[in-house]
Chains A and B, each alone.
Chain A
């Protein structure tokens, strides 16, 4: 299994500002994933973060809005830039050992006012 810690667990932010979410894993993993879970919705994959390369973004998500860092095999950050109320959501970090299962952090509940 993997233990994933996310910080902050929740935040209330002013529109136009940016928030960086941190994700720490207790073991080295090749791929880390960032998801968004909007109110009443499923999890939507934002991007895949591999160490040593640029993140791969899913359709509808761009690097300028959601820059991601992956400085080593146990840590990643997701920044939500120039926030608007539509960005209010739960953001989840995940690691996925291929052919096993995905493990999730507890999420960051973001409210933009």
Chain B
């Protein structure tokens, strides 16, 4: 069965630091990949998505992610984080017509 692994459960960074959150998935077929964000007290919203084409995907708020097929990875990056990026981040894969989520990474940015 398909699964999604997020390596970091809790990340603490200072403002302006660079961010990389790891995500690996297991599925042998064609996948669509997503990163979702959940700000405190808010519902899930889409940061970015990959379906095909350029493996480097740019999303909202300066986030980007790179799909590396050989590594089954879809890591999320941001060169310089802000305090407002404090949130929980979920990697997800759409395979077999259903979306499976990773366990999430709680990101805390220190002002």
**Interface 0/1 of B1-40, CB less than 8 Å to A:** 0000000000000000000000000000000101000000
Most A C-beta atoms less than 10 A away, residue of B44, B102, B103: B44
The 8 closest A-B pairs by CB, nearest first: A42-B103, A43-B101, A104-B44, A42-B104, A106-B43, A42-B101, A102-B99, A101-B46
Chain A's interface size range is 20 to 34
Return the CB mask of A86-107 against B: 1 if under 8 Å, else 0. Answer: 0000001010101111101111
Of the A-B pairs whose beta carbons lie under 8 Å apart in the complex, a sample of 26, sorted by A's number, is A31-B97, A35-B101, A41-B103, A42-B90, A43-B44, A43-B101, A45-B98, A45-B99, A45-B100, A48-B97, A92-B43, A92-B44, A96-B97, A96-B99, A98-B94, A99-B32, A99-B51, A99-B94, A100-B49, A101-B46, A102-B92, A102-B94, A102-B99, A104-B44, A106-B43, A107-B43
